[in-house]
Amino acid sequence: MQQDLDVPGGYRRTLSLPALAKAALVAGAIDKALAYAKEGLGPGAGDGQSTFDCNMVLGKVALRSGDVAQAAQYLVASGKSSGSPALNSFGPNMSLAKEFLEKGQSDAVLEFFALCKTFWTAHARTLDCWAQTVREGAVADFGANLAY
């Protein structure tokens, strides 16, 4: 994946940034994760999937560093994605939402669910069920939506 970065501003680079940001986060390379995610949201940024993924990475870093307010902004920004074939069919990754709920933070998650309805239209009912679970004070079972 690193080789795709050799062409500054190139299309392959733009497409690689979200995956690199996520991989760097998993590897614990926080500085690289932040750099890739920020570039992935910059001028000439990728598609709706890139918007979603890069904001998720930034949100996870912010939440883990204790900046809950900033993390909430990134969670909500990810929900403002225009969608993508994967987001529209399989749905959004809910790992950051779960982290919020485990910390007792539900407001941003509920807003995120509402925003996700604009691209995950076939599963609006699922989002509504998750929202009801959260309003009842529990963490929803996100199933496979934690894996992608």
Q: Which residues of the chain have pLDDT under 70?
A: 1-11, 44
Which of helix, strand or coil describes residue 76?
helix
Give me the pLDDT at residue 13, please: 74
Q: Which two tokens stand for residue 99?
A: 């982290």
Q: Is the pTM of this model over 0.85?
A: yes
* Straight-line distance from the first to the last Cα atom of the chain, in angstroms, rounded to the nearest whole number: 18
* CATH label of the domain that carries residue 66: 1.25.40
For the chain, the domain total comes to 1
Which residue, 52, 45, 53, is CA-closest to 21? 53
Give me the pLDDT at residue 3, please: 59
Which of helix, strand or coil describes residue 139?
coil
Exposure of 60 in the CB half-sphere (CA atoms within 13 A) = 23
Give me the pLDDT at residue 45, please: 73
Measured CA distances, 74 to 1, 16, 38, 125 (Å) = 25, 20, 11, 24
- State which residues form the domain around 108: 2-146
Give me the pLDDT at residue 7, please: 58
58 neighbors 74 (Cβ within 8 angstroms): yes
